[in-house]
Amino acid sequence: MSPRVAGIILAAGASRRYGNRNKLTERCEGKALVAHAVDAVLTAGLQPVVVVTGHDAERVEEALPGRAVSFVYHAAYAHGMGSSLAAGVRSLRDTDGVAIALGDMPRIRTTHVRRVVEAFETNHASFGDDTLCVPTFAGRRGHPVAFGRAHLPALRKLAGANGARDLLASRAEHLVEVPMSDDGVLLDIDRATDWGDLRRD
């Protein structure tokens, strides 16, 4: 039986570097920025899919109508990405792993998510619940990152802004890099100048 992999999309931040608007609700190529990551995770077949909200939570939810996701409101979102990630993982009940995606990645696609999940499934046979999979492009690591069940207790305790970077560094012997053919797993929107050639509407 294939391992069960849940999906978490982090969409709680205040977009401080972006300016006065919430970047996650900005329109990009036909839908809100946050919808790109959510749709990629959903169509890749992950279950359940959790969206962690915080800043401007109501508008973020409104940007994702009709999608089969659950929302986890993280009131302490200002504490940073690590605390938001922990809130999402604490909401999960029974899963063999979780793939963590960022809500501000406009070029993340279903194929990226599926390749990470397929690598997770393949390596789960060797590493079991210790499995870790991270996508790469041109030698750089991106998202989504898949964590096996053994790492969930540590993820639930995260705090601050560093996310799971230290956890990945400490478990390098179980970490599998999954090469990608494009930079969709790297590109995120931090500032209003980061859109490049993406179509805005």
Q: Name the residue among 117, 118, 101, 119 with its Cα closest to residue 36.
A: 101
Question: pLDDT tens, 146-181?
Answer: 999 999 999 999 988 778 888 888 888 889 999 999
The conformation of residue 101, written as its DSSP 8-state character, comes to: E
Using DSSP bridges, classify how beta strands 49-53 and 70-73 pair: parallel, antiparallel or unpaired: parallel
Domain ranges (residues) in the chain: 5-188
Q: What percent of the chain has pLDDT over 90?
A: 81
Q: Residue 54 above 90 pLDDT?
A: yes
Q: What is the pLDDT of residue 161?
A: 78
Does 118 have pLDDT greater than 90?
Answer: yes
The letter for the amino acid at 1 is: M
Query: What's this model's pTM, rounded to 2 decimal places?
Result: 0.95
Q: Which CATH architecture has domain 5-188?
A: Alpha-Beta Complex (3.90)
Question: Which pLDDT does position 106 carry in this prediction?
Answer: 96
